[in-house]
Chain A
Amino acid sequence: MIDIVRNRKWFFLISICLLVPGIISMLAFGFKLGIDFSSGTVMTLRFSPQIEQGALRQQMSQLGYDDATIQKTGEGDFLVRTRNINSDEKLALIDGLEKGLNTDLTVRDFETVSPVVASEVARNAAIAVLVASFFMILYIAFAFRKMPSPFKWGVSAVIALLHDVLIVMGIFSILGWLIGYQVDSMFIVAMLTIVGFAINNTCVVYDRIRENVRKGVSKDFAVTVNSSILETIARCINTSLVVILTGLALFLFGGVTIQQFIMALLVGVVVGIYDSIFVAGPLLVLWDRGLKNEPKAA
């Protein structure tokens, strides 16, 4: 039998190894923000006949969009990101590209957010996260009200959740400067969904610990926690695995529009599995006796 609780310092160490690079990246580079937070314009352009990316870049800078980022999508379309432009500028840009590149242009998707809206969206997203967190913590307090010391259980659950969220944020910060992954309002949605989902598994594990404490499985709390984790390990993995399966199908076949969003969900669910098995339970033991494995003398 694997003793997860006894080896908790190694699992905490893995968590720290996952957390630290992300936190450094967040502090040093921050996030690549989506246009709904930072304002700007994103458009998906389709050219017929098709054109080279270099030619498009050159024409864009000739038209005064030196700072535009251009990305080719899987379908041969171009994803162009630039500053916030208005209707007249948009028409002039389309016209300039069609004439300059001698091709027909279809704007398949056009999205523009002005700075006024962007700052509001950022503020509202922050409020939404706070409100959601408040109610979730309230709920956790309610769920653990019958535990011997509800505070300890609630705080451990929240720390485990923060652990998940921080890891996903860190990974997205790194993916931001590696492959241009953005943090936008859908990312916030993914975060809240992850928290809602991860707490399920934590509840399942804690619920089992509570049950086993009542049953008096072992006098040693650490042993009780460990056997509870092992008893629930299959369901924690399986409930997440089915979500991962559907998420993976969406990521691979669902198209580019929601790919980053699904990625955030997937990473979150995977981290959530780790958290519910190796972090949430051991945290309770850490609370009682630190990293030492022998119970404190009573």
Chain B
Amino acid sequence: MKTSEILLLLFLAILVGFSIWAIVPLEGDRFGRQGLTLGLDLKGGAYLVYEADLSKKDPSQTVDQVMDNVLNKIERRANAFGVKEPIIQRQGENRILVQLPGEKNVDEAKKLIGQVALLEFKETTTDLSGQPQTNEKGEYVWTIATGIGSDGQTKELTGKYLKPNARVELKPNTNEPEVAFEWNDEGAVLFEQITRRNINKPLGIFLDGQLISYPTVRAIIKNSGIIEGMDMKEAQNLAIQLNSGSLDVPLNVILEQTVDATLGADSIKKSIVAGAIGLILVALFMILYYRMAGLVATLALIIYGIILTAIFKLIPVTLTMAGIAAAVVSIGMAVDANILIFERMKEELRAGRTMGAAVDAGFSRAWLAIRDSNVTTFIACIVLYWFGDTFGAFMVKGFALTLFIGVALSMFTAITVSRLFLSLTARAVKNTWLYGVKA
């Protein structure tokens, strides 16, 4: 063996050894990575794109301020709801991408996160005798409750004067849930005036314009209050929303993909089966057609698979259904460099060259074709990755990234693993039949 070959063998042994250490066991902790990182479609969860209605924004705020506020509030809500590792990003001017991996109560989470949750207090309009007016249906006629603030300005009483410590409590006698809240200093000033003039009259509590309860005011209250008339879930969500603050502008879901965790688990199982079958088919074909060389290609393919898995785990690459498909397809593409080399080698053998010369010529002549032929795949991958976000589906990006990594790695294994082992076997086994050439 030449020194360069020994060095290459050593390098490959270290690389493969390291990769095996990294991925066995797959769930084992390596550099803080445990197992493969799975995308939403594989582990379940929600991928949501909200569009902010900026026409409703406060004109005194800039778009960036509004969006930053909304993003912050959404993040607080998602964390308070208990979503593990939510991803919340601004997209373009007025969009927000929210990913809730592994979340089971997507509908609830979606509502909690995307609702404006503006809390308002309204008082009844009174007739001449001072009694609350009702309309023809017998409902109260509400008008927004205002007070004079400490700076002398008239202010509407809303959730923005709440301290961020609203909590769910159970009513002592009935065990019904209620949300207890406290006003900040300014809120207390307003609330005192409003309760004072509404003694023995109902006070309407509205969330996003919907009446949720209208308790009758029994005494003048300054600092705190309760909201009742909800079930436990609603109360918990309201508390979270009040603590995060109401969103500055309304949001609409313009794109949603929600996957149940069981479907993801099914997909993983199927992909593993498909990948294994694909690998076996390719290995069989290569060994039957190219004999010894096919064996070398299969070895290179196994090493390719090990390093690829290690890359996926350590970077980590988020695997999606499309990403796994790309990985499986890349098994086929990984072999095609080998095929180009072997075919070239067979030609050289037929032309009467020695084994060693044929291997060398096979590699040096096929290399240009291999390099050139992968350039177009790289172009496609880069463009797809670039546009992936704007495609609406996270499938696209996953496919592009995985295919890129797969093709790049396959070029590497073709020129190192296949070349080295083919040179070594060529020295040991000289029978040309074993390389697919009639003797």
Interfacial residues of chain B within 380-402, with CB under 8 A of chain A in the complex: 380-381, 383-384, 386-387, 390-393, 395-396, 399-400
CB-based contact A124/B369 at 8 Å: no
Partner of A121, one of B286, B374, B390: B390
CB-based contact B390/A246 at 8 Å: no
A to B contact number (C-beta, < 8 Å): 221
A52 surroundings in chain B (CB, below 8 A): none
Q: Is B238 an interface residue (CB 8 A)?
A: no
- Docked Cα-Cα span, A195 to B384, in Å, equals 13
Among B12-20, B142-150, B207-215, B255-263, the stretch in contact with A: B255-263
Q: Is A212 an interface residue (CB 8 A)?
A: no
B16 to chain A, nearest CB (A): 22
Q: Is B125 an interface residue (CB 8 A)?
A: no
Q: Is A14 an interface residue (CB 8 A)?
A: no
B270 surroundings in chain A (CB, below 8 A): 253-255
CB-based contact A250/B325 at 8 Å: yes
CB-based contact A135/B260 at 8 Å: no
Q: A124-B390, A235-B339 are in contact. Are A243 and B322 (CB under 8 A)?
A: no
- Docked Cα-Cα span, A239 to B333, in Å, equals 7
Interfacial residues of chain A within 106-132, with CB under 8 A of chain B in the complex: 106-114, 116-118, 120-121, 124-125, 127-128, 131-132
- Docked Cα-Cα span, A186 to B384, in Å, equals 10
Q: Is B267 an interface residue (CB 8 A)?
A: yes
CB-based contact B373/A109 at 8 Å: no
Interfacial residues of chain B within 153-175, with CB under 8 A of chain A in the complex: none
- Docked Cα-Cα span, A130 to B286, in Å, equals 37
Q: Which of B49, B289, B322, B328 has the most chain A CB atoms inside 10 A of its CB? A: B328
- Docked Cα-Cα span, A189 to B376, in Å, equals 13
- Docked Cα-Cα span, A108 to B275, in Å, equals 24
- Docked Cα-Cα span, A192 to B387, in Å, equals 13
- Docked Cα-Cα span, A295 to B321, in Å, equals 53
Q: Is A69 an interface residue (CB 8 A)?
A: no
Task: Bin chain A's interface residue count.
Answer: 35 or more
Q: Is B266 an interface residue (CB 8 A)?
A: yes
Q: Is B273 an interface residue (CB 8 A)?
A: yes
Using an 8 Å CB-CB cutoff, how does the interface string of B39-81 with A read, 1 for contact, 0 for none? 0010000000101000000000000000000000000000000
- How many B residues touch A, CB cutoff 8 Å? 71
B51 surroundings in chain A (CB, below 8 A): 116
Partner of A239, one of B111, B254, B340, B384: B340
Partner of A246, one of B110, B257, B282, B286: B282
- Docked Cα-Cα span, A244 to B374, in Å, equals 18
CB-based contact A186/B396 at 8 Å: yes
Q: Is B336 an interface residue (CB 8 A)?
A: yes
Interfacial residues of chain A within 187-236, with CB under 8 A of chain B in the complex: 188-189, 192-193, 195-197, 199-200, 203-204, 207, 231-232, 234-235
CB-based contact B285/A254 at 8 Å: no
B396 surroundings in chain A (CB, below 8 A): 185-186, 189
Q: Is A143 an interface residue (CB 8 A)?
A: yes
A254 to chain B, nearest CB (A): 4
- Docked Cα-Cα span, A75 to B265, in Å, equals 14
Q: Is B356 an interface residue (CB 8 A)?
A: no
Nearest-CB residue, chain A, relative to B95: A117
Nearest-CB residue, chain B, relative to A75: B266
Nearest-CB residue, chain B, relative to A251: B274
A91 surroundings in chain B (CB, below 8 A): 107
B390 surroundings in chain A (CB, below 8 A): 120-121, 124
Q: Is B271 an interface residue (CB 8 A)?
A: yes
CB-based contact A261/B393 at 8 Å: no
Nearest-CB residue, chain B, relative to A130: B383
15 A-B pairs besides A189-B396, A192-B383 with CB distance below 8 A are A113-B392, A185-B395, A189-B399, A196-B381, A197-B377, A235-B339, A235-B343, A242-B285, A242-B332, A243-B332, A246-B329, A248-B278, A249-B328, A250-B271, A261-B322
15 contacts between A and B (CB under 8 A): A44-B263, A75-B266, A87-B111, A107-B260, A121-B391, A124-B387, A132-B379, A193-B403, A196-B378, A235-B343, A238-B289, A246-B331, A252-B274, A254-B325, A254-B328
Sort A-B residue pairs by CB-CB distance and give the 3 closest, nearest first: A243-B332, A200-B373, A246-B278
